[in-house]
Structure 1
């Protein structure tokens, strides 16, 4: 995960919870008086509260409850319970391309974001459903084959691209192996564009000669297992290493837009911090035209997290008022 999208389903929560509550009510109505059915009933009532809560930690509570239930019943009963849950929380029915009151397609149309949060590499487009539309994948953070009762939980559905969801993440169990969560964790993976042995001032003042030697890398806390797992699973280092030329071009546009090369060249003969300038207020609309990038809306720009971090690394205000790296 590169970006946090905790508010991705803000406008969809009421509609989705109404849909989910209706399914659970149907399940409750189908249960009989047997001891096993009464156990299932208690579990469904628990799910109705925790799966529709805004707090994502309700998913872990549901997993814990289900694990306790499994230990209290026989193998035959476990199979029966699992079959019941798979049929009740039918994701295939929810995801079929068919017009109805609420569906996976309508959920995706309500998303606040259009770029995959795992890689920030791919657009997640939604087109008109009645014309055979397309929508992004909905990744089950906790795999539905292991946790069928979470198959339709809104907090378990992460909009994502096909590569991240199907080819890279697949059926990885995030309950067992923790990764950075797009709804929960802060953005702790940060991009840098550098040339080994060169300072930022060296890069700016000699940009045309070093631009082909610049490389993009990802900074992270090596002691954070979530970060390490995320980088490995989604192949983020390898994928973004291929974008080093794009990162270098952005750095060139950013430093030119800020007029840094001319300013540094004019002060190479004296101490850079002797009389630091007062940066002029930026014209945001003009900067967006020059960069082809809006720093304030980076989450909805392809490669936006990389560009946002490089923007901050080479920002005029920061560089002219702080010791140079």
Structure 2
């Protein structure tokens, strides 16, 4: 992930918690009130959901990971019947029903509470929600821990990352982020930094930028050594995607350079607005497409 959205769901926590809690309570009552023999799979699902009830409502990563450990133990104990056990869990935490807009609290209602405007995985696609008389759209909700593999997390709030379809479907697909840890936008701090390069000689970079040379490349690296960051860079092909955005990077660099030259030129008695000149506010970089790349280029002038 490029952007951290740690507080993204703070305005949705209350309503979603009530929704998810009621869903589980309704299931408990249905099982307890059922007259007749209950299958081993149904009873295992019942006891499992009771055991992880507080964990799936939690906003803490450690609780979510603990719920996965418990789920895996139940699934292993079920042996040949584990498929039916998993299917029962999936019926309880029914994500497809949540996306159907048939109830007051659904995926659209949740996404309207999202603070993120941009996909946190790539930072170059919008991820906001619009509902109008002429049509609706919302970001895809990536299940950071894959819902088919861990169905009890299909509706867990802090397992839902508002993202673009390219990142969610085309790139991530069914990669298991539990087995192969990646940066989590809802939990982790930002750890990817962008920079410009022109071959192996740093001394030619400015000349290459000014001539808009095809040799200028946008590159991304981990700020701190971290296997999760390397996995994220690879899964979401960040370097490959941003290499196609060198024109935008060069234009921003030149705009910043020209602004710095203008304000330092004592021949002019003008007051310049950096935000207007650059059409970019460094303090609000997360609200812009490519905002993290622009912020890192901006910071390079003071570094």
Distance 2:150 2:6 in 1: 22
Aligned to 2:294: 307
Q: Is the 8 A contact 2:58 2:64 kept in 1?
A: no
Q: CA RMSD in A?
A: 2.5
Distance 1:66 1:150 in 2: 10
Aligned to 2:259: 257
Q: Is the 8 A contact 1:124 1:161 kept in 2?
A: yes
Q: Is the 8 A contact 1:212 1:245 kept in 2?
A: no
Distance 1:70 1:241 in 2: 43
Normalising by structure 2, we get a TM-score of 0.88
Distance 1:233 1:159 in 2: 17
2:237 to 235, 238, 251: 235
Q: How much has 1:129 moved relative to structure 2?
A: 5.4
Q: How much has 1:156 moved relative to structure 2?
A: 0.9
Aligned to 1:80: 84
Q: How does 1:6-155 map to 2 (within 5 A)?
A: 6-32=6-32, 36=40, 38-76=43-81, 78-98=82-102, 100-128=103-131, 131-155=134-158
Q: Is the 8 A contact 2:193 2:223 kept in 1?
A: no
Report the structure number with the largest CA radius of gyration.
1
2:210 maps to 1:208: yes
Q: How much has 1:215 moved relative to structure 2?
A: 2.1
User: Secondary structure of 1:243's match?
Assistant: helix
Q: How much has 1:210 moved relative to structure 2?
A: 5.7
Distance 2:300 2:108 in 1: 38
* Structure 2, unaligned runs of 5 or more: 266-270
* Structure 1, unaligned runs of 5 or more: 264-282, 320-325
Query: What are the superposed Cα offsets for residues 50-108 of structure 1, whole Å, 9 maximum, x if unpaired?
Result: 111121222111111111222333423x233222211111101101144x320000111
Q: How much has 1:35 moved relative to structure 2?
A: 8.4
1:294 to 255, 266, 281: 281
Q: How much has 1:256 moved relative to structure 2?
A: 1.3
User: Secondary structure of 1:82's match?
Assistant: helix
